[in-house]
Structure 1
Amino acid sequence: MSDRKNTDETRKRLLDHGVALMLMNGYRGAGLADILKAAQVPKGSFYYYFESKEAFGAEAIGHYLAPFLRRLTERLREPGKSGLDALAGYFRELAGELEANGFKGGCLLGNLMGEIADASPASREALKKGVDRYRDLLAEGLARAQTEGLARKDRSASAMADLLIDGWQGAMLRMKIEQSAAPLHAFIEETLLGYCAA
């Protein structure tokens, strides 16, 4: 195995375990020693892969978000589904996974927005980039639904997508305190499907 492949695999392992620990304990609660131990990487090796914990946190945001963006893209590309059906299916799938996981963790983006966005310029930039990419995909589905005559046209797809992000993050916070999927399903039925054309 090449040194480059070893380096890439170790880096990915650090990010995987770092994301898991940050979801459970927050950014500040995920210490470097805990991340290194979970990833089975020797102490002192962290700075070979990342220049700082702040740089690690910024990269972890993109690492965490990548599979969600892939999944949303796949849902939007499914043949025979309207834009609204694709979005509703995506959010229903996420709600089911959160419920199956006992409502733990929530969304790393939302968690970090509240914890470190105002303290870390690198993380704030990574969060903004991630939210913008998410918003653009949601807007793509909503624009398609507008073209299909299924979504209201008195608001732009981008503006509605921004509200979807805000509503989903709020629903996940309510989910955590209520230990219930009801806020997630209410978001899907009332906010997302509330965009249906009259």
Structure 2
Amino acid sequence: MSIASSKQIKREKLLDQGVQMLMNQGYHGTGLKKILDTVKIPKGSFYNYFASKEDFAAEAINHYIEPFILRLNSHLHDPQVDGLTALKRYYGELISELEQSGYQGGCLLGNLMGEIGNTSEVCRHALITTIARYSHLQETALARAQRDGSVRTDRSAKSMADLLFNSWQGALLRMKIEQSVEPLQDCIETLLEDYFLEKR
């Protein structure tokens, strides 16, 4: 294995562990030493991978969203599925997984927006960029659904994608305190099965 590929593997391990700890303990509760000990990388080596803890958190934000983007993309690229159905299936999977996990974690983006969104410029920029990428994919799904006539056209696909993201984040917070997926189900049913639909 080359030095470059070995370094990349260790970097990925750091990010995997970082995402998990940021989800469970938050930015301020996540210590670099604990991450490094878990991944078995010497403390002094951290700065071979990341410039600072802020830079690490910003990279973790990007790392966190990738599986969600890949999953939604897989639904959108299914030729048998329209844009609205792709979103319904995607969110149905997320709701099922959150229920199985005991309502733990929520969304790293929402967690960090609340904790450090206005105190770390590096992380704020990473959050803005990541949310834009994620929302754009949902906008693509809604625009496709508008073209096939299933979603209303008096509102832009972008405005509906933004509403979907914002509503989902709020529903995740209620999920945590209520220990129930009902807020998530209500969010998706209200938007994807009613408000966004083209009225016949």
Tell me the TM-score normalised to structure 2 length. Answer: 0.97
Q: Percent identity?
A: 52
SS in 1 for 2:41: coil
Residue 55 of structure 1 deviates from its aligned partner by 0.4
SS in 1 for 2:57: helix
Residue 175 of structure 1 aligns with which residue?
175
Structure 1: 5+ residue stretches without partners = none
Residue 191 of structure 1 deviates from its aligned partner by 1.7
Larger mean Cα displacement after TM superposition, 149-158 or 72-81: 72-81
Alignment of structure 1 residues 25-174 onto 2, 5 Å: 25-174=25-174
Cα distance between partner residues in 2 of 1:196 and 1:82: 13
Cα distance between partner residues in 2 of 1:163 and 1:192: 11
Residue 197 of structure 1 aligns with which residue?
198
Cα distance between partner residues in 2 of 1:101 and 1:54: 28
Residue 40 of structure 1 deviates from its aligned partner by 1.6
Cα distance between partner residues in 2 of 1:139 and 1:191: 14
Cα distance between partner residues in 2 of 1:74 and 1:6: 29
Alignment length, in residue pairs? 198
Q: Is the 8 A contact 1:167 1:191 kept in 2?
A: no
Tell me the TM-score normalised to structure 1 length. Answer: 0.98
Root-mean-square deviation (CA, aligned residues, Å) is 0.7
Residue 166 of structure 1 deviates from its aligned partner by 0.1
Structure 2: 5+ residue stretches without partners = none
* CA deviation vs aligned residue, 1:80-139 (integer Å, no higher than 9, x gap): 111110001000101111111111111000000001110111100110001101111001
User: Which segments of structure 1 move beyond 2 Å, counting only runs of 4 or more?
Assistant: none
